[in-house]
Structures are given as structure tokens and as C-alpha cells.
Amino acid sequence: MKKLDFNLTAFGSTRRVVQIIFLVTIILIGYRFYSFTTQLATGIIPDINRPPGVEGFLPISALISLKYYFQTGIINDVHPSGLLIFLFISVLSFLIKKSFCSYVCPIGFLSEILSKIHFKLFKAGLRVNKFIDYPLRLVKYGLLVFFIYTIFFKMGDFAIKQFLYSSYNIIADIKMLTFFTDLSMTAAITIVSLIILSVFIKNFWCRYLCPYGAFLGFLSFFSPFKIRRYEKSCISCGKCDKVCPSSINVSKSRNIISDECFACGKCVDVCPSKETLSLSLPGKRFKLKPVSVCFIAIFIFSGGTFLARHTENWQNNITKKDYINHMVENGLIDVHKIQNLNKFKAHLDKRRKRILMKQMMEKQ
């Protein structure tokens, strides 16, 4: 049986700890949100509060909130934590490359697991030909440009505010959950296809399709901390190139400026000449140890959340009755599962009562 190699001085081990901490946190948030939504869907006022952290999965709403903040100086009170989580992620990526993707993001964690399967199937690993790779990488940047152009250049002030306070945006997180709990055949085929592609092509989603990753990759160009190579001590063994999940030729560069660098530290861990590679400032000043990177990631999110709570910019102002009304309007209430119809109707305003009666008649 293979012995586990757990070393807190290595990037791989410490990063795995942080990934698990954030993964457990996300699972707990997801479970609480599922319980909250399930009670709403059956006409019950939930006995638990909605976890604000779920808004981290609403990046488009966060981007629109950012424009609204630039316009008004106000953090909108529909999804305030969504905007703040977006800013936490941006700050982390500006400081230390795309470290969010390799230390925090659950999709990044899943991609690593699928990469392990990739190397089980292909011992040496497969690389996509550069004439295919570069055009495919433009897809995520095309999506990013589309969203930025649409939000910041096409949507006017009225449209921004109208969207933020629309019924659709208010329950966007609930719609996101129902997308996965009531998965359509098309969605299931798409997800399975992405998983299969990620087994055969490392980090397929992250490398070619994720517009969020494209934005963080752009920010990472300005990161003061980068993987830096000291040429005089390099023995040109090429081990760093082989382990890089982004297929970057580390051994040929002095400073890794690539937008695909996750600052995962795999190249640093595998390098036999320990003074050759480091995650540091220019001139190899202030080298970041693995524990330091993990501390920075945890501090930005936990410290930012504490500050947001303290300034009352974390929890939204949507009441549980408001959620029920908006769910009725969007057809997210199963009328057959309502436990007490008269009590449930008492939570609705006149317009939503009419909508509910129409939905009940249609189901009959």
C-alpha cells in the first residue's frame, strides 16, 4: 500500500488542506441552502436562514452589481455577498496569480481529480496541439468579452437596476439549485460530456470555457507574486514542465507570466534544485512559503466575510415571505406538496395569489 506523503512545507499538501476546508464549507452552505429552499417549495416558512455564501455561484449577477456600485456607490441589497465574494476572489487573483482556481474553487478541485484519472489512462499525459489549443482558449475570453460588453456598455442605468431588483434575479440562486436538482436530459448530457472531456483533456472546462477563469487570468498578469526561475541553478531536467497542469514550459522562462498559471506550486515541489523555483516578488524577494499562500487565501475570505457582516453588507434584505411570492411567480412551487394551502396563501400578495390559482387550475 502506498504511503501518504503529507508535508506542510510542500505546496501540494498544504494546498490540499485549504481545498478541503473550502470544499467542506461549500458543501455545508449547499446543504443549508437546499434545506431552506426545500421548505419554501412546500409552502413552509423555513426555520433556518438562507446562507449568503451561496451567492458566490452567481458571477453574472455580481458583475452587474459591480456596475451598479460604480454608478451609485451602493452595494445592492439583493445579492450583496455575491458582489463581495467576487471582490475577494479578484483580490486573491490579483495578488497571487489564479490561486483561487487551485486553492478555493470546487470545480478546480474536481478538475484535479479528473486529471489524476487522465494520468492513469495516459502515463505521460496528453498535450493538445498548440494550433488547436490557442483557438480553443479564445472561447472563454470571447465569453468574458461578451458579458463585459453587454453589462458595462449595452445595459443602461435603468436596465441595471431593473435586473438587480427583478424577480428573476432575486431567486437566481434558487433557480440555479433547481437546475441541478431537476436536471434535464440536455443538461445531464452536457455535464457528462464535460466530465469525459476533462478526463481526456486536462482542465478542459477551466482552460477553454470558464469566463470567470479568463477574468482571473487577466488579473493575474498584474500579480506581484509569480513563479520565478533562477537560471544559474537550473539543471534543465524538465520535471517542472511535466507536472504543470497548464502545460506551461516553466523550464524555458525566467518569470511565469502566463494567464494559465494557477500558482499551484507543483513545479516548485518537484524541482530537484530547491533554490531554482519560487513563488516570489521580482528578484526572488519575499518568497512565499506554502503555508503563507494558504493563510492569505483563508484570511481574504474569512476576514472579508467578518468585515461584511460587521458593516451589514452580507445578508440580503429579502424576507422568507418575499421568497415564497417570487417562487410562485416563477413557477417554483409544487402545489401538490403544499402542506397547508390556506396558511400558504396567507403569505401571498394578491397578484401572486392569482398566479397560484392559475397554476393550480392548469395542473388540474
Task: Annotate 127-193 with DSSP letters as a single string.
Answer: ---HHHHHHHHHHHHHHHHHHHHIIIIIS-HHHHHHHHTSHHHHTHHHHHHHHHHT--HHHHHHHHH
DSSP state of 47: S
Measured over the CA atoms of residue 116, residue 119, residue 125 and residue 131, the dihedral's sign is negative
239 confidence band (pLDDT: 50, 70, 90): very high
- The structural domain count of the chain equals 1
Beta strand residue intervals within the chain, DSSP E: 226-229, 277-280
Q: Tens digit of pLDDT for each residue in 310-336? A: 999 999 999 999 999 999 999 888 788
Q: Which residue has the cell 413552509?
A: 44
Give residue 261's pLDDT.
95
Residue 258: partners with Cβ closer than 8 Å, 6 or more residues away: 246, 248
Question: 324 in a domain, yes or no?
Answer: no
Give residue 359's pLDDT.
82
DSSP state of 202: T
pLDDT at 54 > cutoff 90: yes
What is the end-to-end Cα distance of the chain in Å, rounded? 61
Give residue 3's pLDDT.
42
Once rounded to an integer, what is the mean pLDDT over residues 115-130? 87
Question: 315 in a domain, yes or no?
Answer: no
* Nearest alpha carbon to residue 195 among 209, 187, 205: 205
Per the structure, the complete domain to which residue 44 belongs is given by 11-221+292-310
Question: 301 in a domain, yes or no?
Answer: yes
Once rounded to an integer, what is the mean pLDDT over residues 67-94? 96
Give residue 2's pLDDT.
41
Say if CB 216 and CB 90 are below 8 A apart: yes
Question: 355 in a domain, yes or no?
Answer: no
Once rounded to an integer, what is the mean pLDDT over residues 231-251? 92
Percent of the chain with pLDDT over 90: 80
Question: 217 in a domain, yes or no?
Answer: yes
Stated pTM of the model: 0.92
Task: Annotate 210-233 with DSSP letters as a single string.
Answer: -HHHHHHHHHHTT-S-EEEE-GGG
Q: Tens digit of pLDDT for each residue in 145-166? A: 999 999 999 999 999 999 999 9
Give residue 222's pLDDT.
95
* Nearest alpha carbon to residue 137 among 10, 16, 265, 248: 248
Say if CB 186 and CB 113 are below 8 A apart: no
127 confidence band (pLDDT: 50, 70, 90): confident
Question: 58 in a domain, yes or no?
Answer: yes
Q: Which residue has the cell 470567470?
A: 212
* Nearest alpha carbon to residue 333 among 317, 315, 352: 352
* Nearest alpha carbon to residue 225 among 116, 313, 347, 98: 98
Once rounded to an integer, what is the mean pLDDT over residues 252-273? 94
Say if CB 363 and CB 66 are below 8 A apart: no
Q: Tens digit of pLDDT for each residue in 299-311? A: 999 999 999 999 9
Go through the chain and tell me how many residues it has: 364
| Distances in whole angstroms, Cα of residue 14 to Cα of each of 93, 98, 302, 331 | 18, 17, 18, 45
Question: 265 in a domain, yes or no?
Answer: no
362 confidence band (pLDDT: 50, 70, 90): confident
Q: Tens digit of pLDDT for each residue in 193-222? A: 999 999 999 999 999 999 999 999 999 999
DSSP state of 336: G
Question: 127 in a domain, yes or no?
Answer: yes
* Nearest alpha carbon to residue 202 among 238, 247, 267: 247
In this structure, what C-alpha cell is assigned to residue 37?
A: 429552499
Q: Which residue has the cell 421568497?
A: 323
Give residue 364's pLDDT.
64
Q: Tens digit of pLDDT for each residue in 264-310? A: 999 999 999 988 999 999 987 899 999 999 999 999 999 999 999 99
Q: Mean pLDDT score of the chain, rounded to an integer?
A: 92
pLDDT at 124 > cutoff 80: no
